[in-house]
Amino acid sequence: MSVAVVLGWKAYLRAGDDAAGRKLLLRLQEQLGTEMTLGEFQRDDEDSSVYRCTFTTELALDDSGNAASAALEAAGRLAPSWVVGGLPPQRGLWGVATEGIAIAGVTWLHFSLED
């Protein structure tokens, strides 16, 4: 039996227009290797050269799967270094990456393991 857990993502995308921003989202999805559900996608109020977006992805785990480990593995596909907090058993695992992001134009990433 497999269990699905949801990863919530936030990203800042430096793009000249809507089409370029959406292309960056597609590249994020390809890098993660899974479908995403898009939430917010709009220009940032403080920096109009950046799009602020949210999306979710699902992680399928088998009975022995570890959600935290799977979340970190997914995050590692996008950037090699993350500041991570909320480690189990506390719940609320989250991470932020600002450097070394695998996709040029993506300037900031955040993930959280949703209950």
54 by DSSP, 3-state: which? strand
CA distances from 91 to 9, 16, 26, 82, 86 (A): 16, 37, 29, 17, 6
Ranges of the chain whose pLDDT falls below 70: 1-2, 62-65, 88-91, 114-115
pTM of the predicted protein model? 0.90
| Residues 39, 53 contacting (CB under 8 angstroms) | yes
Distance CA 45, CA 56 (A): 22
12 neighbors 108 (Cβ within 8 angstroms): yes
The predicted-structure confidence for 52-83, as pLDDT tens digits, reads as follows 999 999 987 866 668 888 899 999 999 999 99
Domains in the chain, CATH or no CATH each: 3-114 (3.30.70)
